[in-house]
A and B are shown apart, each in its own frame.
Chain A
Amino acid sequence: MARNLQRAGELAFAKMEKINSEVLTLTYGSIVAQLVKDYEDVEEVNKQLEMMGYNMGIRLVDEFLAKSHVGSCQSFRDSAEVIAKVGLRMFLGVSATVSQWSQDGNEFSLVMEENPLHEFVDIPEHLRGLYYCNILCGVIRGALEMLNMRVDAQYVRCKLRGDAHSEIRVKLIEILEDQYPEDDE
């Protein structure tokens, strides 16, 4: 199953239209810089980035499903693998590994060795608390929410803060069931 996902990720990535990664890095960088200038509070910027990611996630998920032809996932573990190997590969060009499953299987870590958004970035001292790629947490949350899974995604380690790699911790809060209005006749 892992090898199939790897292959699916490569295929999906190959099919996507490509742009210059520097354009993306620079565009993202200017968004973050502008947010910092507008809000001046690091926590607020983190929150805005996450919200932007959420709005992106709810749209990206349909594109992901249409282009990648990955079938339904049988479990949360499956979903984790699919996000890491196919989703991230398709949209960012990098693959992540899934690790550190919690006891009850409801939490996992997505570990990324490299991230194209991080190129050329050096976070200054006064912006220590900034999670530069918080947008990714939002994207994951938005995408999974459209698939009826409410999750919480947080950055725990970030390469720009001096850690060896970037890590996002994803926690499943609940699975939403289709809601039907009560019979009021």
Chain B
Amino acid sequence: LFVINKAGGLIYSKDFASLPNMSANDYLRVASMFHSLHAISQNIAPIRSGGIEVLSADTFNICCFRTATNIKFLLVVEPSTLGSDTMLKGVYDRYVEYVLKNPFYEVDMPIRCELFDVELEKLVAEANAR
């Protein structure tokens, strides 16, 4: 899971399964690249579009949920996974609750909220149990 702020910077990333080793810098670079691609896709779309929603590859899909405030939630999943958009909406709800309502969190800064982590783990555990 990655969360990108409206300037294109990565503010949160979390792995829920074992992933190939990528350093923190790599994550930042990847996130900014996605932000730029997303912006380009919005500009070249023939009709007004909200940008990239799903990027499919052989072994994985990247699902993206963009809020009206230009924050992007990215999920990297196996191609066979269903309900990614519901999951992303769930992440958005938890972001609203545990990150935005935390008075000590500055908007657009990296997210360091324990409650947010805990809730995300719960969300993923529920989804995996199904």
Residues in chain A within 8 A of chain B (CB atoms)? 58-59, 61-63, 65-67, 72, 146-148, 178, 180
Contacts and interface: CB of A to CB of B under 8 A. Distances in A.
Interface residues of B, number: 15
Interface string B96-129: 1100110000010000000000000000000000
B39 A63 contact: no
Given A62-B95, A62-B100, A66-B96, A178 B68 contact: no
Interface string B69-108: 1110000000000000000010011011100110000010
Interface of B: 39, 67-71, 89, 92-93, 95-97, 100-101, 107
A168 B15 CA distance: 46
Contacts, number: 33
Given A58-B107, A178-B39, A63 B69 contact: no
B70 A66 contact: no
A32 B53 CA distance: 45
Contact of B96 (A63, A72, A147): A63
Contacts of B67: 62, 65
B37 to A, nearest CB: 12
5 contacts: A59-B107, A65-B69, A66-B89, A66-B92, A148-B70
A67 B100 CA distance: 14
A19 B68 CA distance: 28
A61 B69 contact: yes
